[in-house]
Amino acid sequence: MSGRVTRSATRAQATSEQLPPPASPSPSPSKRPRPTPSRSAPSTPKRKKLAPTPAAESPYVPPTPNTQREIEAEAHHADEEGEKEGAVLLHPELRFRYEDAKAHLIALDKRWAKVMNAMPCKPFEGEQKEPFNPFRTLVSSILGAQISWLAARAIQHKFCRLFFPHLPEKLPPPDPSTPKLETPFPTPRQVLDLPDRFASLRGAGLSGRKVEYAVELAERFSDGRLDAKKLWGMEDEELVETLIAIRGVGPWTAHMCLIFAMKRADILPVGDLGIQKNLCRWFSHDPSFVPAIHPAKLAPASPTKLASSSGAVHPPPTPRKGGDNEGETTEFASAAQPGGDKQGEGHGLGKLAALGAVEVEQEQVIDLEAPPKKEQDEIEGGRFEFPETSNGLTPGVLKARLGGKKLKGNIYLSPKEMEELTAAWRPYRSVACWYLWSLADGDGDP
């Protein structure tokens, strides 16, 4: 019996062979062996990724003489087609004579003679040769909202190249020595017939909202709600109401259109801060002296400089959030809104350049802050009289406004004060305002 092995004993032995050996007790933290340092070769440090070198921009290549002639022919043909569609008026007639406006203003104040003889008034002097193209003016204004004038210039060129591929890939640099390139502009029907319209316009740099505005404007001209000949014949108040009914167009833009595109004689842009500031300067300045021309502010003629905004580039305005129209900014102040109105208004070079047909040479800039010269006796004209206002404005009050004591809304003058100060300039306030823009600091900052 002693030699017999039972089945239970055999099972127990097999089970014990399969079980793992018992784990040894873990040493205390103080007795744990320290890890042996690795003797392998150190890893190669990672190289910093160098920023890619930006590719140099290709230089501007001017069109060949044949291409230039083709572009000019396209521009003429586009104007003719635009007239058929009611978007262009080829031979508009001015409603007033600049000579009458000049005589009227000088009869009120001798200082106007010095100012007006120093600078020709490009929008109103001479024979009217440019066609009236309100579609181009308003589309250009929409494209230029909320961006710098250089960006607006580039986007408008891309927009035009969608319809006129013969145009150079790039615009000439903003250099006075480079001749201005006369480019054609599409008609409303061309915009509406553009293949894959939304994607094409977005590819040219327009925001989605600006695409909507441009297309809606084209539809208004195409279906007859807007017509260049009818617009030219409207009275000023009706014209402003018609324009501000367009999405993306506000009172400031409407006033600029009336002055520069429609050549109206008696427009006072009450929301323009440059006009407000220079009205304060004009009426607070010593009337016994003529405004001097500062030698340092004589600027060479430039196709990209605007005499109406002193031809300088300034940063684009800050957008106001919460407006009804996307992608637009304003410095319109008639409602005492420092942040702007809902229509995307502004002042200065960016907006004026975007309006098109305002690019004029800046021969001279008048400086009201420079030491005056005693030349009053040499000039014939009326004697300055400070206008009466309902709130008793004085030159001292206007100087205080210039010194920082502005009105609520961060404006220099209320619309009513502007109307009363310029009442004697009627019916030629547009001409006076054109010169007031040129009486800025000389750096474009009103």
**Contact status, residue 96 vs residue 265, Cβ threshold 8 Å:** yes
Which residues sit opposite 366 in a β-bridge? 293
Give me 346's structure tokens: 């502004």
The structure tokens 């108040």 sit at: 237
pLDDT of residue 443: 39
Question: Cα–Cα distances in Å, from 365 out to 243, 251, 306, 374?
Answer: 32, 27, 11, 19
Name which of 41-50, 105-114, 179-188, 413-422 the model is least confident about: 41-50
Name which of 135-139, 195-199, 235-239, 366-370 the model is least confident about: 366-370
Cis geometry, peptide bond prior to residue 251 (ω within 30 degrees of 0): no
Question: What is the percent of the chain with per-residue pLDDT over 90, rounded to a whole number?
Answer: 46
pLDDT at position 89 over 50: yes
**Contact status, residue 260 vs residue 308, Cβ threshold 8 Å:** yes
Closest CA to 440 of 272, 281, 266: 281
pLDDT of residue 409: 92
Neighbours of 178 (CB within 10 A): 15
Closest CA to 351 of 131, 68, 137: 137
What is the rounded average pLDDT of the residues 211-240?
A: 96
What is the rounded average pLDDT of the residues 283-310?
A: 47
Where does residue 38 rank: exposed (0-12), middle (13-18), buried (19+ CB within 10 A)? exposed
pLDDT of residue 308: 30
pLDDT of residue 68: 85
> How far, in Å, CA of 367 to CA of 361, rounded?
17
> How far, in Å, CA of 211 to CA of 234, rounded?
28
Which residues sit opposite 342 in a β-bridge? none
Q: What is the mean pLDDT of the chain?
A: 75
> How far, in Å, CA of 346 to CA of 309, rounded?
12
Neighbours of 175 (CB within 10 A): 11
- Higher local confidence (pLDDT), 60 or 289: 60
Closest CA to 398 of 386, 382, 409: 386
> How far, in Å, CA of 44 to CA of 441, rounded?
61
pLDDT of residue 37: 53
Give me 193's structure tokens: 């017939």
Neighbours of 293 (CB within 10 A): 17
| 57-61, 69-73, 372-376: range with highest mean pLDDT | 69-73
pLDDT of residue 200: 96
Q: Please work out, in degrees rounded to the nearest 5, the angle formed at the alpha carbon of residue 282 by the alpha carbons of 280 and 287.
A: 130
> How far, in Å, CA of 347 to CA of 365, rounded?
18
Name which of 7-16, 51-60, 209-218 the model is least confident about: 7-16
- Higher local confidence (pLDDT), 291 or 246: 246
